[in-house]
Chain A
Amino acid sequence: MTSVLAIGLVLVTSLVIGVYGVRAARSTSDFLVASRRVSPNWNALAIAGEYLSAASVLGLSGLLLKNGLGTMWYAVGFAAGYVAVVALVAGPMRRSGAFTVPDFAEYRLGAPRLRKLCGLVVLVIMLLYLVPQFKGAGVVLSLVSGTPYWVGVLLAGVVVSGSIAAGGMRSATYVQAFHYVVKLAFIAVPAIYLVVHAGPETRAEALNPEWGTHFPEATPVEFTVDTDFSLDEPVTVTTPSGDGVELSAGEHTVGQGTEYVFPEGATIPHPDGLPELGSERWSTPLLDVGGYPLFETWSTLLAITFGCMGLPHVIMRFHTSPTARTARRVAVGVIALLGLFYLFPMVYGLLGRVLTPQLVLLQGTDTVAVVLPAQAVPGSVGTVLTALVAAGAFGAFLSTSSGLLLALAGGLSHDLFQGSVPRLRLAVVVGAGVAVLLALPAQMIDINVLVVWAFTVAASTFCPLLVLGIWWRRLTLAGAASGLAVGAVTATGAVGWSILFTTPAGWVTVLLAQPAAWTIPLAFGTMMAVSGLTRPPDWAEHAVLRLHSP
C-alpha cells in the first residue's frame, strides 16, 4: 500500500511540475528560444533523467544477481556511450538543425525517400526499447499491489499515452530533471541504508562469493514455469502438505506450479544454463553467458557505446542546448550524473545474492531491487524502503517511456505518413498499444537483454549513418540506404533469432545473441563500399563542412 502511495506521489508531482513546466516552455514562440533559458545543469539533469530507464534501475541489479559481476559492463557502456556522443555527434548534430535522424539524413543526403527507411528503423528501435520499460512497470506493480502482470503493463500503457496525449511532458525539462533526482535518491538512500543495516557478516558474505550461496532462512519457492536445475549436494525439501522430499545431487526438472520449501542453509540449486551463484565465473567481472567472456563483453560494449549515439530520443535532446558548444558540455555533465547513479545498482545485486538468492530459481531477478529491502529489513522501515525503490523504478519507466513514445509517434506520423497533430495523438496511442501487446509475452525475458537489443540495432544502423555522415564527405544516398538496410536486418534478426529459437551452444549462439561485433562493421563496410561505387553530389562537402563551422 505504501508503495502504491509512493508511486502515486511521484506521478502526481510529475504532472504538477509538467503542467507548470510546459506553460513556461510554451510561452515563447520557439522551442529553441525557450530552451535557451534552461541552464546547462538543468539540461544535463533532464537528459540523465530521461536516459536512466528501467534497465538501469531494475535490470542491472537483477542481471548482476543472475549472471554475475560482468553485468556492470552494461552500466559502463551506458556512460561510455556519452563519451562517444561528445566526441562524434553532439556538436555537429546541433549545428545541422536536425531534430531526428531522418531529418539529418535529409539535410546531409538530400533525399526525402530515405526518411521512410529511417522512420522504419526508428520504429524498430523504439519498440524494442519500450517493451522492457512496460515490462518493468508490470513487474513492479504486480509486486507491490499483487495485481497480475498484464494489469501493470496495460495500466502503464494507458498512463503514459494518456499523459502525452493530454498535453505532454515534451518540453518539460524540469519533469525529467525531477525524475533524475527521484531515481538517484530512491535507489541511493535504500542502498546505503541496506549496506549499513546488513551488518558485517552479510557484508562480508556479499563480498566473498566463494563462500557459497545458501538460503538465508527456510524459503518457500513456487516455480512459476518448468525449471531445470542441478544440485551439488542432496537436500530435503518440504512440500506444502508437509511431506519431506529428498532431492539427490544432480539434475532435476520440476513442473510449473511445484512448491518446495528449502531449509535454512541449503546450497542454492543452480538453474540450467546460468553460472552458479558466487562461482568464479559469476564473480569474474566479464559477461559470460555463452562461454566466450571476452568476446561477449567486447561485443556488448560496442553495441551499447555506439548504440547510444543512434538512439532517437538521445539525439533529439541536443536541441535543448542553444549552441553546439553547450550541447557538448551538457553531454559531459551527463556522464558525471550517470557515473554517480551507477554506483548503486551493484549494491542490490551483491546483497541480493546473499539475502534473496531464490529469485534466480523463480526467474524473477529483475525484481531484486524491489524485493530486497523488505526481505532485509522486516517491518515498517522495509516497507518504506520498498516503496522508495518502487517509486524510483516507476519514475524511471515513466520518464523514459514518455520520451520513447514521443520519438516513436514522431517517427510514425512525420516520417512514415504525412502527419498532423491529431495524427500524432493517434500515433501515440497506436505505438503504446503495440508496445503493450509485445510486452505481455515478454515477462520472462530480462529487461537488459531487450534494451541491449535496441542498442545493437541503433549501433548497426544510425551510428554508421551519423558517424559517416558527419565525418566522411563521400557518403552517398545509395551507400547510406544499403548500409541501413543491411544493419537493421542483421541486428534485428540475429538477436530475435537467439531469443525465439534455441541454437546449439558455442560460437553460433554467442554470435547471434551478441551480434554487435559483426553487424556494426558490416553496416559501416556496406555504407563505405556502396558509397565508393556511387558519386556524392557536388554540395556534399559543403554540407559536411557546415557541420563543423562554429
Chain B
Amino acid sequence: MSPRREKLTSPQTRIALARGNRPAQHLLPIPGPVDTEAARKLFHAQRRTAVRTVALLTVLLFGVSGAFAAFPVLGHVRLGGVPLSWLLLAAGIYPLLFGLALWHVRSAERVERRAAREAPRRDEDPGRKR
C-alpha cells in the first residue's frame, strides 16, 4: 500500500502562498543570532575564506588558459604522444578543482568549529546551545 502523498513546499513558499496577494503585514520570521558580535566575526571569517577560494579559482582557470595563449609550445611538447596542453585541459585540471573545493570545505568547517568553541565563553546566556 502506498502512503498518502503530501504536497511539499519550502517554508518560504508556504508563507508566500498563505499570504496570497495581500502585501506583507509583518516581516519574515528571521531568527536572529543570539550573539551578534560572534556572528559578525564568523561571517567575516567565512567571507575571507570564500574570497580566497574564488580568487584561487580565477587564477587557476585564467592562468591555465592564459598559459595556452602565451606559450604555444605547450601544444608541441608531447607526453606519451599527447600534446601537453591537451593533457592539462582534458585531465590535469580536474584534480586541482577537486583539491581546491576540498580545501575550501576544510577551511570553512574549521572556522565553524572555532566559532562553536568560542561561543560558550562569549555567550553568557546559559540556555544557548553549543
Chain A interface (Cβ < 8 Å from any Cβ of B)? 23, 26-27, 29-31, 69, 72-73, 76-77, 79-80, 82-84, 86-88, 91, 97-100, 103-104, 106-107, 110-112, 115, 171, 203-204, 207, 283-286, 293-294, 297-298, 301, 305, 319, 325, 328-329, 331-332, 335-336, 338-340, 342-343, 346, 414, 418, 421, 471, 537, 539, 541-546, 548-550
Contact = CB atoms under 8 A, between A and B. Distances in A.
Given A82-B101, A329-B105, 20 more contacts: A30-B6, A31-B8, A69-B86, A76-B93, A76-B94, A80-B61, A83-B57, A84-B57, A87-B54, A87-B101, A97-B10, A97-B12, A106-B28, A115-B16, A283-B83, A286-B65, A297-B65, A332-B101, A542-B32, A548-B39
Which 4 pairs from chain A and chain B are nearest by CB?
A: A339-B94, A99-B10, A103-B12, A87-B53
Contacts of A112: 16, 19, 23-24
Nearest to B107: A87
27 contacts: A23-B3, A29-B6, A69-B85, A77-B61, A79-B94, A79-B97, A86-B105, A88-B50, A97-B12, A98-B10, A99-B12, A103-B16, A106-B16, A203-B81, A285-B85, A285-B86, A294-B69, A297-B65, A301-B62, A335-B97, A336-B98, A342-B94, A537-B27, A542-B30, A544-B43, A545-B33, A546-B31
B39 A283 contact: no
B100 to A, nearest CB: 6
A29 B83 CA distance: 55
Contacts of B6: 26, 29-30
Q: Give the most central of B13, B16, B62: most A CB within 10 Å.
A: B13
Contacts of B127: none
Contacts of A545: 32-33, 36, 39-40, 42-43
Contacts of B95: 339
Interface in B90-123: 90-91, 93-95, 97-98, 100-102, 104-105, 108-109, 112, 115-116
A528 to B, nearest CB: 16
Interface string B39-58: 11011001101100110010
A99 B75 contact: no
B77 interface: no
Contacts of A29: 6
Nearest to A209: B83
A171 B88 CA distance: 37
Q: Give the most central of B57, B66, B95, B101: most A CB within 10 Å.
A: B101
B126 interface: no
A297 B28 CA distance: 42
A110 B49 CA distance: 28
Given A76-B93, A207-B83, A107 B28 contact: yes
Nearest to B91: A343
Contacts of B66: 294
A110 B53 contact: no
Contacts of A80: 57, 61, 97
A548 B43 contact: yes
B10 to A, nearest CB: 4
A278 to B, nearest CB: 13
Contacts of A546: 30-33, 39
Contacts of B101: 82-83, 86-87, 331-332, 335
A157 B28 CA distance: 39
Contacts of B42: 545, 548-549
Contacts of A293: 69
A83 B53 CA distance: 8
B116 A550 contact: yes
Contact of A471 (B21, B47, B62): B47
A26 B8 CA distance: 10
Contacts of A329: 105
Given A26-B5, A79-B94, A98-B12, A543 B105 contact: no
A30 B12 contact: no
B30 A543 contact: yes
Given A30-B8, A339-B98, A301 B33 contact: no
Contacts of B40: 545
A79 B100 CA distance: 12
A88 B54 contact: yes
Given A83-B100, A87-B50, A110 B28 contact: yes
Contact of B108 (A91, A343, A543, A544): A91
Contacts of B72: 284
A454 to B, nearest CB: 20
Contacts of B2: 23, 26
Contacts of A100: 10, 13
Contact of A285 (B31, B39, B68, B105): B68
A343 B90 contact: yes
Nearest to B54: A87
A140 to B, nearest CB: 24
B97 to A, nearest CB: 5
Contacts of B49: 87
A539 B27 contact: yes
Given A26-B5, A301-B61, A414 B108 contact: no
A98 B5 CA distance: 22
Contacts of A325: 109, 112
A281 B43 CA distance: 46
